[in-house]
Amino acid sequence: MTHSRTRVLLALVLGLLLSQFGPAMAAPVLRYTLAMPAPQTHYFEVETSLSGFGKPYTDLKMPVWAPGSYLVREFARHVEGFTAQAGSENLRTEKISKNTWRVYHPKASSFTVRYKVYAYELSVRTSFLDAAHGYVNGTSVFMYPAENQQLSSTLEVKPATGWTQVSTSLKPAGAPNTFRSESYDELADSPIEIGNQKVLSFEANGTPHTVAMFGQAPKLDEAKLLADMKKVCEEAHRVVGKNPLDRYVFIVHNIDRGTGGLEHLFSTTLSVSRNAYASDAGYKGFLGLVAHEYFHLWNVKRIRPVTLGPFDYDNENYTHMLWVSEGGTSYFGDLIVQRAGFVSVDDYLASTSNGITRVENTPGNKQQSAAESSFDAWIKGYRPNENSSNTGISYYDKGELIGAVLDLMIINETKGQKHLDDVMRYLYDEYYVQKKRGFTDEEYQAAVAKIAGRRYDDFFRRYVYGTETLPYATALGYAGLKLAVTPATGEPTLGASISSANGKYTVTSTSREGSAWQGGLNVNDEILALDGARLTTDPTQQLSSRAAGSEVKMLVSRDGQLQELRFPLLASTMQRYRIERMENPSADQKTVLAKWLTVR
């Protein structure tokens, strides 16, 4: 047989194989369509077209949580009407776990899945749809093929009748309201606002920034807002000094009561009280929220603990480092606003003083470390109850203070040449850029040591993984500052929070080791009488004039049964902390302060 005949025969055999098995061997293709034909019913309709899936069945999964919000939220509970078809043929489907649907397609490599999602929780972590607008967080709406999480996809959004705007950081895919994502992680990490929102824009560091604002905001000066947001963003860029962006989108929900923010890869969602812009404090609070969520595009989205990406959407993703990822972002967010000129040095110090007061007067600060708080975010952080302040501490609050102390220690150790910004820069270059992964607990400590020129193992052991009181006075002293402590006044206190509604006084919390705690007063007890007299005003007010150590006789209703309690009224142990300037700081102290804060 000649070589030419051999080549012809091989070509014929190959062609036959491709004709029979080509569809199964083709690269998988994934396309989503999002519709909302009746928005007043709060249902999104999702159509997912899959082709090139050659196995006899495909599993589709709905995440159980949203990255950045460390709580299993069970998004699958809002899914209804799951069906699958290959052409006109209905396919057999089976739900095999709480968030997994199996589609059997033994004779077809292409098929379409359809389902509805009920969306009526307007927060930055969930999805929402009503007659006014739609908001999508990808993890609560879009499923993904279990074995193809890194598969790229396109998404077509079909707005409700009369809606003209679709705002998202996803890149356009050519057709109107059609976008593409490189993986499910990108789709899940790119929220979408749909409706008639106002769309504003500005440029920062050569990058276009879009602000999509839903809801009315009285007394909002749009020009000033954009100029100030630009200042905040440019100041944030200076921390790490690297720009990972080619676009950025702020989705802002102006509602009655704001719920905060949530970071994403190229965007953020901010939930703001609509009247916040009308006061100086509210406006600065908004800028602080902008700074915090925007800085997350470095810290968390790129500089991250090793367990926070690629994500496991089925389970909790544990880390001891949320005090860095969230508390550290709070620290830098406040610094950014101060450096941008919106907060004076004295106001910044006053805010930090309040933070110390809050943490040090929280009983749980001595029960739970910052590292433990981070790890237990999944079971405690997002599930507070009446005993939370007694048993735990916020990794936001504690982490912010750890960041401040570490920063001052680094600045002092390097004689004003380095600060915590340099640690972030090193982590960005070493792990995000070069190693393309997150860092471990040990690697974070090593990064601090590399920048400072010395290790702080004892510091981390005692104050991060332990519950000892941070060395505030020592650290502040490096900057020519001192910590003034106003001791407890000795005034008596019930040590309980009381709610008043419809003439009833009900216990909502008790403070560890306080009068109520030791005296057996329980949460949900209704206080009826004090010292034999029917209660007509808040008991905490009546007790404020008593002497510490005096006996309290209290009649309460507990589970419908009357009980009399007797216990001593203890003195308050609350202390106040205030950062003050030293009268004659040294040149070295002035150098540290100037490196830490922007003095104008």
Please state, in angstroms and rounded to a whole number, the distance separating the CA atoms of residues 365 and 345.
Answer: 27
Cα three-residue angle 462-464-468, rounded to 5 degrees: 40
Would you say 94 and 142 are in contact if contact means Cβ atoms under 8 Å apart? no
Please state, in angstroms and rounded to a whole number, the distance separating the CA atoms of residues 465 and 450.
Answer: 20
pLDDT at position 2, please? 47
Closest CA to 411 of 324, 481, 333: 481
565: three-class secondary structure by DSSP: strand
Closest CA to 303 of 174, 403, 431, 399: 431
593: three-class secondary structure by DSSP: helix
Tokens of 569: 């009224």
Which residues lie below 8 Å from residue 427, measured CB to CB, with a gap of 6+? 303, 439, 444, 447
Low-confidence ranges of the chain (pLDDT < 50): 1-4, 6, 8-24
pLDDT at position 5, please? 52
Please state, in angstroms and rounded to a whole number, the distance separating the CA atoms of residues 351 and 354.
Answer: 5
* 471 preceded by a cis bond (ω within 30 of 0): no
pLDDT at position 17, please? 42
Q: Which residues are bridge partners to 89 per DSSP?
A: 86
Closest CA to 247 of 270, 225, 268: 268
pLDDT at position 518, please? 95
State the first-to-last Cα distance of the chain, in angstroms, to the nearest integer.
Answer: 90
pLDDT at position 379, please? 97
DSSP letters, 85-144, are: EETTEEPPEEEEETTEEEEE-TT-S-EEEEEEEE-B--STTS-EE-SS-EEE-GGGT--E
pLDDT at position 7, please? 52
Closest CA to 535 of 562, 556, 516: 556
pLDDT at position 8, please? 42
Please state, in angstroms and rounded to a whole number, the distance separating the CA atoms of residues 301 and 266.
Answer: 9
Q: What is the DSSP letter of 493?
A: -
b (16+ CB within 10 A) / e for 377-397: bbebbeeeeeebbbebbbbbb
DSSP letters, 473-509, are: HHHHHTTTEEEEEE-----B---EEEEEETTEEEEEE
Please state, in angstroms and rounded to a whole number, the distance separating the CA atoms of residues 475 and 432.
Answer: 30
For the chain, domains (ranges, CATH) are 24-194 (2.60.40.3650), 197-277 (3.30.2010), 298-479+592-600 (1.10.390.10), 496-568 (2.30.42.10)
pLDDT at position 544, please? 81
Burial class from Cβ neighbours inside 10 Å (0-12, 13-18, 19+) for residue 109 reads buried
Q: Which residues are bridge partners to 534 per DSSP?
A: 529
Would you say 531 and 553 are in contact if contact means Cβ atoms under 8 Å apart? yes
pLDDT at position 25, please? 56
Q: Tokens 């609560």 appear where?
A: 140
Q: Is the pTM higher than 0.75?
A: yes
